[in-house]
Structure 1
Amino acid sequence: MSSNRTFVIVGGGLAGAKTAEALREKDFDGSIVLLSEEDHLPYERPPLSKEHMAGKKSLAEFTVHHGDWYRDHHVDLRLGTTATALDRDAHLVTLPDGSTLGYDKLALATGSRSRRPPIPGADADGVHFLRTVEESDALLDALSPGARLVVIGAGWIGLEVTAVARDRGVIVTVLEAAELPLLAALGAEMGTVFAEMHREHGVDLRFQARVEEITTADGRATGVRLASGDVLAADAVLVAVGAQPNIELAESAGLTMDGGVVVDSALRTSDPDIVAVGDIAAHFHPVLDTRIRVEHWANALNQPAAAAATMLGHPTDYTNLPYFFTDQYDLGMEYVGYAPHYARIVVRGDVARREFVAFWLDGDHRVLAAMNVNVWDVGDVVRALILGRMPVDPVALSDPNVPLTEVAA
């Protein structure tokens, strides 16, 4: 190798592995050190609550690269190792054994962890969280036919596990503090679609539920007690109330924070020699003209290409629209765009059959985001509608007989 520069990547998930891959694809010939806290080769996390949980994919099938790839591409992958401190002035990261590792450029890809609310009994055996493959395996072992599972949280992970559990004959109760599932992500109208679907599959959904305690006996979870006084018996409890970004290293190093590590459009932090990608990146999105932090697979997959270019001295804006997907029972869904505030939702298709596309519009009838449910091959035109920022005719938008390319107002 002709370059004597060293680029260090902290975080051995999808974002970290893809950053190493992008650096080599962009012909960086210096040293790359990838620090991974887990002992596994970097892997993707969506299957943990989807195909792997359903027994359809093994870890090897969603591992980003197999071991030979790191050797062949001269990536020094250090499993079971992460940075414990960061000295920006000296360009050093401290490792768990007290040694230090110098860097010329640094990528932070530390991801997130399960949020752990202070619920009494949450540390008992039989209480599950879902972030690692070991946690997925442990939860899967508990999902035997006839077992009773209580899921705390009706977000994406909670509902995906619920669907897998029901398919396996598990009795499931879902507890959600809000009025509907996915309320913050999708709003009431689409949240109702998911609520009805789960009820059709025999799920006991309880909204505006406040958990007081996970009851235990001999150190093992036996149920969940609500503020109402109700006690729900359980053989297993899944706590799925969101994720917490792993920002402690960046924060202690004095990088600018805003709910995550603040990065510009090209994923640079407040330190020009450090980029941040994936769950932790509070990114100024140049298309949406706002700062957003997205905890979804697509950012971990796609941001590294821009980050690698920026590390190599060619700042490249990351412009991909936010994207996520889910699979629950016979429902497959993709969502693209960003609609924290919207005026209305327009639906094209058959909601009852769960074959439709929903569009989130602003007050000027511009498409902010869209969700296709069991309708495929519309991704490109939907993205064009969002990026075009042109008003649409809501009536035409709702009519399946009008091509999406002809819905402009």
Structure 2
Amino acid sequence: MSGLVVIGASYAGIQAAFTARDAGYAEPVTVITDERTLPYQRPPLSKDYLLGEIGAHELRMHDEALFAGKRIELCLGHRVVEIDRSASRVALADGVVLDFERLVIATGSRARKIAVPGAELDGICYLRSIADAVDLKARLGHASEIVIVGGGFIGLEVASSAARLGKKVTVIEASSRLLERAVSPVVSCFLLDRHLRAGVAVKFGTAVSAMIGDGGRIAAVELNGGVRLGADLVVVGIGGIANDEFAVAAGLDCANGIVVDEHGRTARPAIYAAGDCANHYSRFVGGWIRLESVQHAQDQGRAVGLAIAESHEAYDSVPRFWSDQHDLKLQIVGHSVRSDRIVIRGAIEAGRFSVFNYRQGKLVAVDSINNSGDQMVARRLIAAGISPTPDQAEDSSCDLKSLLKTSNQAVA
């Protein structure tokens, strides 16, 4: 029985399946995941779940009844081992073979493993799945000295949670600032100050050279230069790698992820990809990019679902990210890489401000701390290609929404 087969119960995979069905796709829909739990939300894993503020059942995206109501078969605990593109089939580890009319690869990404001596020691953790989170939460309860390798989103969120639990936390970051590839230096400095005030130690410009064990368990982290930090728990957050092995083996074009067009289509008819495992061209970036973002996964999954239902609508969303650290909500819209000018809107000292990033006079990104209002208007401005002048962006009394109205009136 052929129809739509989705590999991966990720945000992108579930969104693609739901959208296709809601848009009129009438053939059978099957979602396959190697995890045994119902599809769940991942952002809370490093925050609310670790802190014990929510339980595992509260992480669920949807209950079984919703899948049944949409006539979507959810196959839990099944691992895909091969895609046979010529025969339009996928093979599972248990020997079952499924035919497909349309195939969506939404396999996400996996944590990049650290490659140093001692990396296999017990007590070195990664955080990508609910299983990882359950293990890490249990270990946090008994740990006292925690080293976080990587000053990115995952590392900083775990550092925040661990500090709130009263643990001694040190963050190791190889670059010169936090979230170097994601936010402006102003926001990096602001976040650093907040972490330091929470008791988190941060070391820049150094890397881990070895993990030191005692009886098979982590005991210390050795840095370049020979400095050792005591640690009974290490969390590594040094980026992700696209899960595109099936696609490579099937002969699909892959380059840091599965290459797709604006509808999530690969170069092979009837095969799509979306989410963390897909590489697409973004006009907002000015090039090809693989994004790891919930909003991106949902938006691109929706575009794929519409294409499958022959109700095409191109994916053209402005990149968006968010992160909760301590009492701060960081929100990012756009892509600030290669920006050449920034202006600040609001008061940094008040802990509520935004940084407007420009490249050659064009607004390309806005980073906000505790300022959702700026994010809402910035997303619309960047999507429409409207750039307030730096003076307008800096002036908090300037109504940036009026620029959208002016633009609409000009078009009319």
TM-score by length of 2: 0.94
Aligned partner letter, 1:212: S
How many angstroms does 1:340 deviate by?
1.9
Pair 1:345-2:354 in alignment: no
How many angstroms does 1:126 deviate by?
1.0
Distance 2:212 2:387 in 1: 53
| 1:149–1:170 contact (8 Å) kept in structure 2 | yes
How many angstroms does 1:203 deviate by?
1.0
Residue 80 of structure 1 is matched in structure 2 by: 77
Aligned partner letter, 2:108: G
Structure 1 residue corresponding to 2:302, chosen from 302, 305, 329: 305
Structure 2 residue corresponding to 1:405, chosen from 398, 401, 404: 401
| 1:11–1:82 contact (8 Å) kept in structure 2 | no
How many angstroms does 1:145 deviate by?
8.1
Cα 1:89–1:385 change in 2 (3 A) is: same
Query: Could you say what secondary structure the match of 2:160 adopts?
Result: helix
Residue 409 of structure 2 is matched in structure 1 by: none
Query: Could you say what secondary structure the match of 2:80 adopts?
Result: coil
| 1:393–1:407 contact (8 Å) kept in structure 2 | no
Q: Which runs of 5+ in 1 are unaligned?
A: none
Distance 1:276 1:27 in 2: 20
Aligned partner letter, 2:102: K
| 1:145–1:170 contact (8 Å) kept in structure 2 | no
Distance 2:387 2:312 in 1: 32
| 2:4–2:103 contact (8 Å) kept in structure 1 | yes
How many angstroms does 1:48 deviate by?
0.8
Residue 386 of structure 1 is matched in structure 2 by: 382
Task: Please give the per-residue CA displacement for 1:105-152, whole angstroms capped at 9, x wherever unaligned.
Answer: 000000011110212222211111001112112212222487110000
| 1:36–1:80 contact (8 Å) kept in structure 2 | yes
Aligned partner letter, 2:389: D
C-alpha RMSD of the superposition: 1.9
Residue 20 of structure 2 is matched in structure 1 by: 23
Query: Could you say what secondary structure the match of 1:185 adopts?
Result: coil
Distance 2:190 2:160 in 1: 14
Residue 245 of structure 1 is matched in structure 2 by: 242
Task: Please give the per-residue CA displacement for 1:79-112, whole angstroms capped at 9, x wherever unaligned.
Answer: 1113211111110111112332110000000001
Matches within 5 A, 1:313-392: 313-364=310-361, 366-392=362-388
Structure 1 stretches of 4+ with a deviation exceeding 4 A read: 286-289, 406-409
Structure 2 residue corresponding to 1:257, chosen from 254, 259, 262: 254
Residue 222 of structure 2 is matched in structure 1 by: 225
| 1:83–1:96 contact (8 Å) kept in structure 2 | yes
Aligned partner letter, 1:355: R
| 2:25–2:308 contact (8 Å) kept in structure 1 | no
How many angstroms does 1:316 deviate by?
2.1
TM-score by length of 1: 0.94
Distance 2:76 2:141 in 1: 33
How many angstroms does 1:333 deviate by?
1.7
How many angstroms does 1:304 deviate by?
1.6
Task: Please give the per-residue CA displacement for 1:158-192, whole angstroms capped at 9, x wherever unaligned.
Answer: 00000011111000010010011101111433222
Query: Could you say what secondary structure the match of 2:73 adopts?
Result: strand
Aligned partner letter, 2:252: L
Distance 1:31 1:388 in 2: 38
Residue 280 of structure 1 is matched in structure 2 by: 277
Q: What is the percent sequence identity of the aligned residues?
A: 32
Query: Could you say what secondary structure the match of 2:157 adopts?
Result: helix
Q: Which runs of 5+ in 2 are unaligned?
A: 407-412
